[in-house]
Amino acid sequence: MRIALCLTDTKSAPWIEGLHAALPDAEIVDWTPGSPQADYAVVWAPPQQMVDEQPGLKAMFNIGAGVDAITKLSLPPHLKIVRLDDAGMSVQMAEYVCHALIRHFREFDVYEAEARQGRWVYRKPLARADFPVGIMGLGVLGERVARAVQQFEFPVLGWSRTPKSIEGVRTFAGEARLGDFLVNTRVLVNLLPLTDATRGILNRTTLSALKPGGYLIHIARGGHLVEEDLIPLIDSGKLAGATLDVFQQEPLPADHAFWRHPKITVTPHGSARTLRSESIAQIAGKIRALQAGRPIAGVVDPQRGY
């Protein structure tokens, strides 16, 4: 069995070492143009050339949760694209969302600004009931975030393309219910996969539909947000602010207005990072299952794009 790695902007040596340990009978190599045929591939943002030169691949394993860099390629119909189910990312996402949510709700950003001026100012406590949190995307990551937010006693809503049921979460499904979800949400958390249907879904119309004082926590993909719509919504008072971890262009250019806006918090696409050891164990387990003819979780539906 031969496994080829193509990890754009990621060092492959630790992955090769880990996969060798997990699959000692496999030949594991870096892919280069013209490489011999492989049975499986482990990738991050692979080029079209790799797909074209490896028609015999049985499955391609993506080392991150989002697969939009793969689904945009021209792929043979038989090729399984497999995403990570979690690999330690869900708890990181939950940490990030809860931090951003509580920082906004408790007005810690205001306290920080006051402290820099040496001012001792008390702020009246707010009611959690007035800050319903709406989570877009209820997969493994979205469900984990929803359960974490519930622990702080905020009302939690969820929206997904297909119906989902999570105890204690008021769920909505499909385009027909998106409007109902938004008007009942004050803090919007985006965890959707990026597909043709979701590109640009965070825009002037959808963000304006949030409850007064709406706040955006955006940690999915940069392509979801129509960036030029955000600052006018904040400056007009439609939104109270935003915490952004993903952007149309990354790294975010130094002259981008998001860096300087006082009501926007920017982080460098770090809300959740792949944990290599957990990812390798998961990938190796799925390769063994495929070799044995058993089904695996995480296979991407090419029609849905996730």
Q: What are the helix (H) ranges across 184-241? A: 204-208, 227-235
Active site residue 104: no
Contact indicator for 184, 209 with CB cutoff of 8 Å: no
- Backbone phi and psi for residue 202, each to the nearest 5 degrees, phi listed first: -95, 100
CB neighbours of residue 4 within 10 Å: 25
Catalytic residue among 161, 218, 221, 224: 221
Contact indicator for 205, 50 with CB cutoff of 8 Å: no
b (16+ CB within 10 A) / e for 65-101: bbbbbbbebebeeebbbbbbbbbbbbebbbebbbebb
Q: How far is CA 256 from the centre of its chain?
A: 22
First to last CA, the chain: 27
Catalytic residue among 177, 269, 276, 288: 269
Active site residue 144: no
Query: Hey, which residues are catalytic here?
Result: 221, 269
